[in-house]
Structure 1
Amino acid sequence: MGKQVAIYGLLLAVGTLALQWLDYQRMARVHAGAIYDFLLAAGFLALGLWIGARVLGRRVAAPAFDGNPRALAELGISPREVAVLREIAAGHSNKQIAANLHVSPNTVKTHVARLFEKLGARRRTEALRKARELGLVP
């Protein structure tokens, strides 16, 4: 009984495969123009992606920003104060800076106050202007 079921299943599979092949042949004849259009579009898409990758892949990376180490040394600005200054330049509040640097808001206030002293500024905008003039922040 199992052998007959296997043969019957095999015959059904071969018949289904033959019908699918005939249906594919008919579709290929009826829609030949659409298939050619699709293949042409796919070719141009692949060519465009390849050319784009080649052109855009050759960009020269900008040099790393060093933060003017000479001015940092002359002013006595610590690396943590530089980090706070960059956060200020990004427009973050003291709470956000504290969260980003994993310190307390009071520590951030202390760093900001010392930055103001070292840069001779009274407010954040003035400190940022002077830091940009000195090349401390991009």
Structure 2
Amino acid sequence: MKFNLIVVENTFEVYALLVALLFGGVGIWVGIKLFTKNKQLIVVEGSGTPGLVDEEKIKELGISKREHEVLELIARGHTNQEVAELLFVSPNTVKTHLANIFAKLDVNRRTQAIQRAKDLNILP
């Protein structure tokens, strides 16, 4: 009986509370969906086919291990942002690595770098 009186006397407040709870729940759900990223870990080391990569040529060109990792990920079609996320570095660091790779391979574009790297057998 008392519950009925509370609900009947305070109908607006009860509905307002229910709406507030609903919107709060929806807001939390949307926040979780928007701000949690699906992280994908790609192990670059050892990902190539053994024997097809010319390690001596990599050393001769002066390409660092990290630059080679960036080159492999770019060859797989990843964007600078994706490479940065996968390697846990900033996009500017990826751009710096790419500039170094371009200079060492004497190319101007990503596609040229990938093709030249494949021609030199430094990418599988």
TM-score band w.r.t. shorter chain: 0.5 to 0.7
Shift in CA distance, 106/76, structure 1 to aligned 2, threshold 3 Å: same
1:64 deviates by 1.8
Q: Which residue of 2 aligns with 1:80?
A: 66
Q: Which residue of 1 aligns with 2:31?
A: none
> Cα RMSD between the aligned structures?
1.2
1:67 deviates by 2.2
Candidates 74, 85, 88, aligned match of 1:99: 85
Greater RCO structure (CA 8 Å; 6+ sep): 2
Partner of 1:77: helix, strand, or coil?
Answer: coil
Structure showing greater Rg: 1
Q: TM-score, normalised by structure 1?
A: 0.53
Unaligned runs of 5+ in 2: 1-48
Q: TM-score, normalised by structure 2?
A: 0.59
| Structure 1 residues 68-114: Cα deviation after superposition (integer angstroms, max 9, x where no partner) | 11111110000000000000100000000000111010100000000
Q: Which residue of 2 aligns with 1:124?
A: 110
Runs of 4+ in 1 over 4 A off after TM superposition: none
Structure 1: distance between partners of 2:66 and 2:108: 20
Structure 2: distance between partners of 1:65 and 1:94: 28
Number of aligned positions between the proteins: 76
Q: Which residue of 2 aligns with 1:135?
A: 121
| Structure 1 residues 48-72: Cα deviation after superposition (integer angstroms, max 9, x where no partner) | xxxxxxxxxxxxxxx6246211111
Structure 1: distance between partners of 2:80 and 2:120: 23
Unaligned runs of 5+ in 1: 1-62
Structure 2: distance between partners of 1:107 and 1:79: 14
- Structure number having the greater helix percentage: 1
Q: Which residue of 1 aligns with 2:96?
A: 110
Task: Spell out the pairing of 1:1-138 with structure 2 (5 A cutoff).
Answer: 64-65=50-51, 67-138=53-124
